[in-house]
A and B are shown apart, each in its own frame.
Chain A
Amino acid sequence: MRFDSQDAKRSLTERQYVDTLIVPLAELAFDDEMVRKAESYEVVQAVALETERQLSGRTMLSPTISYVDVDAGHALSEAVYDKATASGFTHVLFISSDVRFKAFELPIIFVPPLALKGMSAEQSHTMVQNFATQVITELSGRWMAT
């Protein structure tokens, strides 16, 4: 489900079924780094959308958390995590291409920051599918375990 009014209503009525929140992370930059950050954003976004498309019945895709400072981004992620779990989401999963998040104890899946635009449509489709499959496998594992 997406973070829009219609799906939000539906996720509240189907609360026992929609128990997983997917949160994409994006680092912002507006200087020379902007292109690289945008590439990371694109791949994270594509993977998050594809995951939601395949698992829309149990997952809610949160709007992307964007940050300019990694510690602030971490703090915000923690806050989102706490808020989501307190509101009834049993599973929260972050998707990021920022390896600095490896230092933090967050449930997070990393996707490499590849330039999707440099690939053919077919290549980028396969690439996104593969990453989405990794995320789905991770989530299925968590669901099976509970």
Chain B
Amino acid sequence: MAQKGSKVTRRQFLTYTLTGVGGFMAATLISPMVNFAIDPVLKKSDAGDKVRVMSLDDITTEPQRVDFKKQTQDAWYEFEETLSAWVFKDESGEVIALSPICTHLGCQVGYGGDPTRPTEFFCPCHFGRYTKDGTNIPGTPPTSPLARYEKEEKDGFLYLGSPVTQL
């Protein structure tokens, strides 16, 4: 016997209930599937991630070498890559983070590595030279300047991303 004032029939009530419950069940089944299907899209990209490297207060006009670790993905294989940067402030006070990878064949350059040229970057492998701002010196093996890291200054710390090739 239908209650007075109720406009929902038994048939309607059952339809709503079954649709509702069925909907939930379908959602339970489908949502993980969708998740799996579009998984690569949901994965956070590492490329843009920046790593906290050092306090801005510690940066001087003298280049310092800092090592930091970054999660890198090579196809399916994820690993921790050790990266180095030479960090200093230029005359205008702007922070510059140079990649130490020699543009010739990939050795690591050192600032003042050649004692007779204390304000240059020097590659011990084939004696390549760069000025302090990373410009390659003609007549030495490298043909392009040192790469510069993408950088961000936040909360008093320097964050570095990926090295960007300079032309």
A interface residues with partner B (beta carbon < 8 Å): 14, 17-18, 53-59, 125, 129, 136, 139-140, 143
Contact = CB atoms under 8 A, between A and B. Distances in A.
A89 to B, nearest CB: 14
Contacts of B108: 53-55
B20 interface: no
B34 interface: no
Interface stretch (B7-15, B70-78, B121-129, B151-159): B121-129
B102 A57 contact: yes
Nearest to A58: B125
Interface string B86-112: 000000000000000010111110000
Contact of B105 (A17, A125, A143): A17
Nearest to A133: B110
A57 B82 contact: no
Contacts of B126: 17, 57-58
Contacts of B107: 54-58
Contacts of A58: 105, 107, 125-126
Contacts of B124: 55, 136, 139-140, 143
B82 A53 contact: yes
B39 interface: no
B105 A56 contact: yes
